[in-house]
Structure 1
């Protein structure tokens, strides 16, 4: 796999680690509320749901890092987890906010393309 493909996959993984941090640890703090445009009251009411969502983002990051660690044998793992990221990004982009398409779905699509071309 090309270095560019590996770097883009690593970037997608790091994005999902950041989503985990935002959703599990910063959700009710000013930086987390600002990132998602939440009121303090709503953030407090939805913090358990956000933590659950953050955990899932952590699983996506772990799967991508595992695929990278496997090297050439990890290609199917990478494609599976990138596909999950893409579907989640599309769903979020159409049901939550369009910016999810650019922040989550587009990087996953680029990474899938690069992994398939490598």
Structure 2
């Protein structure tokens, strides 16, 4: 494996791990201290929005699963599709919620896509 291919693989896996982490934060830790700090929520707001957050976390899990399945099945089209979905989701989140989301979610996926194209 070339250094670029290895770097592409590592960044791609990082994106999947991040989305697995987002799943845990949004589905299980949303109302806990770590979730409250991470998303800058009050306990009251977190309690009201916990079902929405869990749904959001599930979608993040599906993005991670798409990347992992594509890697394990050696299906680059599936990996590319999942990474593109991450870019779209992260860009939408940056526009609609907070610009930070672009740098945390969309940018790493864009880097992975760029490296995979080399």
- Asked if residue 49 in structure 1 is aligned to residue 52 in structure 2, the reply is yes
Aligned to 2:19: 16
Q: How far is the alpha carbon of 1:59 from its aligned partner?
A: 0.3
Moved over 2 A (4+): none
Q: How far is the alpha carbon of 1:38 from its aligned partner?
A: 0.3
Write the mapping of 1:102-117 to structure 2, written as runs, cut at 5 A: 102-117=103-118
Aligned to 1:100: 101
Q: How far is the alpha carbon of 1:9 from its aligned partner?
A: 0.5
Of 23, 26, 40, the match for 1:37: 40
Q: Distance in 1 between matches of 2:62 and 2:102?
A: 20
Q: Distance in 2 between matches of 1:79 and 1:116?
A: 10
Q: How far is the alpha carbon of 1:70 from its aligned partner?
A: 1.9
Aligned to 2:68: 65
Q: Distance in 2 between matches of 1:77 and 1:8?
A: 16
Q: Which runs of 5+ in 1 are unaligned?
A: none
Aligned to 1:25: 28
What is the count of residue pairs matched by the alignment? 115
Q: TM-score, normalised by structure 2?
A: 0.95
Q: TM-score, normalised by structure 1?
A: 0.95
Q: How far is the alpha carbon of 1:115 from its aligned partner?
A: 1.2
Task: State the superposition RMSD in angstroms.
Answer: 0.9
